[in-house]
Structure 1
Amino acid sequence: MIFDLDGVLVDSEQQWDRVRRRVVADNGGRWTDEATTAMLGMSTPEWANYLVADLGVALTPDQAASTVIEEMARGYAAGPPVLPGAVAAVRAVAADHPVAIASSSPPVLISAFLSATGLEEVVRTAVSSEQAGAGKPAPDVYLLAARRLGVAAEACAAVEDSTNGLRAALAAGMTVFAVPNPHFPPDPEVLAQATAVLNSVADLPAALAGQA
């Protein structure tokens, strides 16, 4: 079982959006209507380039990335915004299945989440899309997580909340459980391709038991 992080285990998509908007406003850029949706699932190098090339931020991509990530890390310092039931769901699933995380967050924030929740002991591998070569909707991060688990991608299930995340997991050939993000709802046509649609990640253990 491979979990996305932002929007599935932590309620952070709005925080990413606020921070990026602030960095754009503070550095001579101009936010666009499609920017939020476009960056959902992008790897760090991809969204940093997007801030500079598409939104006109007067920084280098490396500077844009470090500015955003540093502010996100400060927000995580008091504890990441873990979604209700997320930790219990991961632990319940890990009792029966190898568990991984495949996220577009940078490694420092993935590590902060694992440390704060004590899930390091049950999550066998955690992969950032910046380590995989391409962000979502490309399947790279899911395929890398499956390889690190030592399991064929087709034998894995993924838990996702966004359009690009769902597309990535589907492209990897995985069974997909969708937990639609209420703030940034996924495309209905993409959502319809999921094996099951859940109200919350807390519902995942029961959904898995129902499919056994």
Structure 2
Amino acid sequence: MVDAVIFDLDGVLVDSEPVWEQVRRGYVAAHGGRWQPDTQRRLMGMSTGEWAAYLSGELGVDRSAERVATEVVDEMAGRYREHVPLIPGADRVVRALAADWPLGLASSSPPRLIDVALAAAGLTDAFRVTLSTERVARGKPAPDVYRTVAERLGVAPARCVAVEDSSNGVRSAAAAGMRVVAVPHGSYPLDPDAERQAHLVIGSIDELTGPAVRALG
């Protein structure tokens, strides 16, 4: 049986990964750092503290990690105030599944960006539990955020379906013991090991139907 469905936010409900890449890439270039070929892949799923430390440390940005986090999130909030790039059909899918299962949200975005995105999409009330990796010890690919959301929903992880787009997100949900639906972004394909951990790979969020979720049980 499937007793709950837990969504990621970035790349699943909101097409924000290209925005994150543009903002962070520009920030690194403006502050003395050097973007690496694998940087975006490594950043996907990291908590705010983790990616800020990565930009400040490994990429050589001439700012403290705390300042990096504040300035980059401020820029993202400004972008979101102008336009939240909701993935077409995502709101309909969430509403349809919320009629049959309690929903959770396990996101690497800071809480204020989660709040802005859900409010703009009209989905704030669709999720019983929302949680940022800022509120747990480790970001994705560690399982902490998924395990905590399941605990707060009162559901065993093995009876949850997680919906993810990134390799680190898939690894996180799988490590938590959940069945994973992967919706990879066209610009950021899954790593082979992550794809093997997904129980179902779909081409768009519209394919995530009630029967598809039940079949995973």
TM-score computed with the length of structure 2 as normaliser? 0.94
TM-superposed CA distance for 1:190, in Å, is 1.8
- Residue number in structure 2 paired with 1:198: 202
Cα gap change, 1:129 to 1:190, in 2 (>3 Å): same
* Distance in 2, Cα, partners of 1:119 & 1:193: 28
- Residue number in structure 2 paired with 1:47: 51
Task: State the percentage of identical aligned residues.
Answer: 50
* Distance in 1, Cα, partners of 2:216 & 2:168: 25
- Residue number in structure 1 paired with 2:116: 112
- Residue number in structure 2 paired with 1:28: 32
User: Which structure 2 residues correspond to residues 27-106 of structure 1 after superposition, within 5 A?
Assistant: 27-106=31-110
User: Which structure 2 residues correspond to residues 150-161 of structure 1 after superposition, within 5 A?
Assistant: 150-161=154-165
For residues 138-195 of structure 1, give each alpha carbon's deviation from its aligned partner in whole angstroms, at most 9, with x where no partner exists.
0001011111111111111100111100000000000111101111101123212211
Cα gap change, 1:96 to 1:20, in 2 (>3 Å): same
- Residue number in structure 1 paired with 2:125: 121
* Distance in 1, Cα, partners of 2:215 & 2:50: 38
- Residue number in structure 2 paired with 1:208: 213
Check conservation: 2:199, 2:216, Cα contact below 8 A.
no
TM-superposed CA distance for 1:209, in Å, is 5.0
For residues 98-152 of structure 1, give each alpha carbon's deviation from its aligned partner in whole angstroms, at most 9, with x where no partner exists.
0011010110110001111121111111100111111100000101111111111
* Distance in 1, Cα, partners of 2:204 & 2:195: 15
For residues 11-65 of structure 1, give each alpha carbon's deviation from its aligned partner in whole angstroms, at most 9, with x where no partner exists.
0101101101111111111111121111110000000000011001111111100
Q: What letter is aligned with 2:115?
A: S
3-state secondary structure, aligned to 2:128: strand
Q: What letter is aligned with 1:111?
A: D
Query: Which consecutive aligned stretches of 4+ in structure 1 deviate over 6 angstroms post-superposition?
Result: none
Cα gap change, 1:192 to 1:210, in 2 (>3 Å): same
Unaligned runs of 5+ in 2: none
Equivalent position to 1:178, from 166, 182, 207: 182
Cα gap change, 1:144 to 1:211, in 2 (>3 Å): closer
Q: What letter is aligned with 1:168?
A: S
Q: What letter is aligned with 2:212?
A: A
Q: Which moved more, 1:124-133 or 1:44-53?
A: 124-133
Residues 1:13 and 2:17 are matched in the alignment: yes
* Distance in 2, Cα, partners of 1:175 & 1:55: 34
Equivalent position to 1:132, from 131, 136, 139: 136
Unaligned runs of 5+ in 1: none
TM-score computed with the length of structure 1 as normaliser? 0.96
* Distance in 1, Cα, partners of 2:17 & 2:155: 29
3-state secondary structure, aligned to 2:82: coil
3-state secondary structure, aligned to 2:162: strand
3-state secondary structure, aligned to 1:97: coil
TM-superposed CA distance for 1:199, in Å, is 1.0
Q: What letter is aligned with 1:4?
A: D
* Distance in 2, Cα, partners of 1:110 & 1:75: 13
